[in-house]
Structure 1
Amino acid sequence: MHFSGRLVHRIGPDDVGERVSVRIRLPDGGFTDIVGVVESWDRGTLTLRRRDDSVAEVAEETIAASRIVPRTPPKRRGSP
C-alpha cells in the first residue's frame, strides 16, 4: 500500500461498507497499514473485515491516513 506525500485522513462514518486502507500510529511511534471493509463505525471505533475474514478494531484517534480503495477483482482461472 502506498500513501504519497503528506498523510490525509479521507474516510468517515458514511463509508461503512467500503473497502479502505488505513495507516495507524503505533504506541512506539511507528505505523502499520490495514486494508479491509468497514463493517461499523461506532463511538470513534472502526471495525474492519480483512480479506482473510479476520476483524480489526481501530480507534479513530490512531488513524494517521486513510482512503477508499478498489475492491479486489475476482481471480482468473485458467487461460483467457
Structure 2
Amino acid sequence: MTPPHAPPRQFLLSAEPGIRLVVRYKIEGGLTDALGYLLETSDSSCTVRTRTSDVEIPLALVVAAKEVPPPPQRRGAR
C-alpha cells in the first residue's frame, strides 16, 4: 500500500497497477472523480478503468488521488 499522504502525482507514479483508487481531476467548469482500478501510469498520464470505460487522465490535471477499499459485496436476492 502506498503512503497515504503522498502528493497525487507521486502517489500515482508509485502506485501498483491493479489497485482500486479514486482520482479527482480538473475539467472545464470544475472537478470530477474517476473511481476504479489503475491500469497504468506514465510520466504524463494515468489510466483508470471505471465501471463504464477506461479514463486517461493527464497528471497535470490531477488535484487528489488515493487508494480506496474494494467495493462492498452485493446482497443476494431476498
* TM-score normalised by L of structure 1: 0.74
Matched, 1:58 2:57: yes
AA partner of residue 17 (structure 1): G
Mind listing any 5+ residue stretches in structure 1 that lack a counterpart? 1-7
CA RMSD across the alignment: 1.8
Q: Name the structure 2 match of 1:70.
A: 69
Runs of 4+, deviation exceeding 3 Å? none
Q: Which residues of structure 2 form unaligned runs of 5+?
A: 1-6
- Structure 1 residue 71 displacement after superposition: 1.2
- Tell me, yes or no, if the aligned pair for 2:12 and 2:65 is still in contact at 8 Å: no
Question: For 1:57 and 1:24, how far apart are their aligned partners in 2?
Answer: 11
The yes-or-no answer on 1:25 pairing with 2:41 is no
Sequence identity, in percent? 26
8 Å contact kept, 1:11–1:68: no
- The equivalent residue for 1:4 is none
